[in-house]
Amino acid sequence: MLALLHTSPLHIPVFDALRDEEAPGLAMHHLVRPELLDRARAQGPDAVAEDLAAELAEAARNGARAALCTCSTIGSVAEAAGAALGLPVLRVDRPMAAAAVAAGPRIAVLVTVESTRIPTEDLIEQEAHRAGRTVAVRTVLVPGAWERFEAGDHDGCLTAVAAAAREIGDADVIVLAQASMAPAAEGLDLGVPVLTGPRTGLRAAAQAAASDTSLSGLRTT
């Protein structure tokens, strides 16, 4: 069984659909904790470490063999908590970051919340170091997108993200940092890859749930 830790209930149908395409028959259990993102945005990701550890420990007791954290802001904290518990935990954007590093040195990252900026930049630098590559990361906060998302105007949020992506120049690859941004990539033809995390993240986590192998060094693109 794969546990999925979300900070929005909107991710549940998205990942259920991806499971049906990528890993039919995989048992999944969704944990939705929006308050973790609220606290991480206000106090920093480390502020939710204890609660994350408790959630993951409970998931392991309930039969989870691996977990996927779909929130980019708290992903690094989730991975660290999983390592301490001996439970393979993958942040949804790690395979995406590895693919971005492989695509080229000039990486543009779009985010809709400021709290995602540093965790995503740090993750890309980790993957660049692992691959022995040098990259230049430029992060753009999409103005007004998160406010639209919180107000329930999801189409407006995605429209703003797509518009921001079209304005990116001098990049080898564009990264949409958060899982909620993924639909904005549909239909974009910008001449460079536009990467999102949900599909590759789920694929990698499903592999981990099906085996006893650690996620360390795992690559799925």
Residue 214 within a domain: no
Q: What is the CATH number of the domain that holds 110?
A: 3.40.50.1860
- The DSSP code for 197 is S
What is the structure's pLDDT at 213? 45
Residue 138 within a domain: yes
What is the structure's pLDDT at 216? 38
Residue 216 within a domain: no
What is the structure's pLDDT at 187? 85
Residue 165 within a domain: yes
Same domain? For 101 and 192 the reply is yes
Same domain? For 62 and 134 the reply is no
Number of folded domains that form the chain: 2
Residue 215 within a domain: no
What is the structure's pLDDT at 211? 76
Same domain? For 65 and 99 the reply is no
Same domain? For 148 and 187 the reply is yes
Residue 67 within a domain: yes
Cα–Cα distance for residue pair 5/213, rounded to 1 Å = 20
Spatial contact of 52 and 78, defined as CB atoms under 8 Å apart: yes
Same domain? For 191 and 102 the reply is yes
Same domain? For 75 and 101 the reply is no
Q: Which residue has the tokens 């499903």?
A: 206
Same domain? For 78 and 144 the reply is no
What is the structure's pLDDT at 144? 95
- Report residues of the chain scoring pLDDT below 50: 213-221
170's tokens: 């001098």
Residue 122 within a domain: yes
What is the structure's pLDDT at 101? 98
3-state secondary structure 101-153: HHHCCEEEEEECCHHHHHHHHHHHHHHHHHHCCCCEEEEEECCCHHHHHHCCC
Same domain? For 81 and 99 the reply is no
Same domain? For 123 and 79 the reply is no
Domain that holds residue 138: 94-196
Average pLDDT, the chain: 93
What is the structure's pLDDT at 217? 36
The residues, ordered by sequence, that sit 6+ positions from 116 with a Cβ below 8 Å of its Cβ are 72, 73, 177, 178
Cα dihedral 46, 206, 157, 96 in deg (nearest 10)? 80
Same domain? For 98 and 82 the reply is no
Residue 220 within a domain: no
pTM over 0.85: yes
Same domain? For 22 and 116 the reply is no
Same domain? For 7 and 21 the reply is yes
> Which of 115, 114, 117, 136 lies closest to 125, judged by CA?
136
